[in-house]
Structure 1
Amino acid sequence: MARGKIQIKKIENQTNRQVTYSKRRNGLFKKATELAVLCDASVSIIMISSSNKLHEQHSPGITPKQVYDKYQRDREVDLWAKQYQNMQKQLQDLNEINRGLQKDIRRRMGDCLEDLAIDELRCLEEEMVNAVKVIRERKTKKIDNNIDTSKKKDIPKEESQYGLVDNGEYNHVLGYNDDNRILALRLQPCQPNLHAGAGSGSCVTTYTLL
């Protein structure tokens, strides 16, 4: 049963349009391959879908550049002339922007000020003052951060501290000297042969532990 003729117009339904594109694209590529093999022809096809996707197929042994070069020679046209002109225009614009930036830098260094009016000089001065203010604030913040970091890293040497050891009699003391070495101090009678009395005293004996 023969298929009915379809009207050649844009398919409004997006899904149907995409399905039709995919089927006919594959059919076209198949016909191009057959034509290249049967007739020893150079065939190059480039297709761009409505969703901006690129599809291409080229005969074996030929590159797209070779096809473009042959087209330009036969048609005596230059496909890249307009693109080259656009690139030259972009280059000129970038060079102009670069020259302007370099001139602004020199002005901030105190050069190229002769052609500036008084209002322009005032604006430049205001910009410089604001820039110095921002730099000073950032510098101050950086210094404060460095000071805080240094304080956290430094361990201050304190004077010798002592604490009693709870052994029931409180006759031992632990402490630290100026070199941060741990000391043990023991209280003992100066005259061990005498009975404890009013005249008895105690002597301090120091032992270095660490």
Structure 2
Amino acid sequence: MVRGKTQMKRIENETSRQVTFSKRRSGLLKKAFELSVLCDAEIALIVFSPKGRLYEYSSSSITETIERYEKNAKEIGSTCRSGLIHKQNNKEEDASMKKKIEQLENSKRKLLGDGLEPCSLDELQKLEEQLHKSLSFIRSRKNRLFIEKIEQLKESERKLEEENAELREKSDVVQNPLDSTSLVPGELKEQEVDTQLFIGLPETRKNHRK
């Protein structure tokens, strides 16, 4: 005979309900015992019957297990609350950042000349003042950069002049290695060069010169 699927609802018949409670309670206590032995788990089981009778099982001490459960429950609850608070804070920060970004984008568009139609006279005057301040800052920054560039060019010019002076000194030394005043008179003599063409023995050439 095939056993039908049990419907998960309250058994109306009191006798059947009590029989089912007794059977399932015993099975539940047995499974708790097997789980504690096989898996070395700390288990505490508390069951109250419909008439208020207490049934319990504990692998060690049910009081210590309950205290441990309460401690962990507090820690988990505290962690959950902290997580919820942190999450809420993040949502608020995100909303604030989005609002600031929208304001900056609107201000940027207005500074570029877009979306000025709904602006009042006071808002337009504030935008004008902001533009003047920005232009003043830009001019100041540009002038400061010009001055720094001019100083750099002057420094480069000074270094180039020093290098040119050194090169001129080296060039003068190479072009005049000896001073003409250091020559002793009579050291430079004219050399006679025989430009005549003569064919014959060397002795004959000497006689010819005479």
Q: Higher helix fraction: Structure 1 or Structure 2?
A: 2
What TM-score results when the alignment is normalised by the length of structure 2? Answer: 0.42
What TM-score results when the alignment is normalised by the length of structure 1? Answer: 0.42
Larger Rg: 2
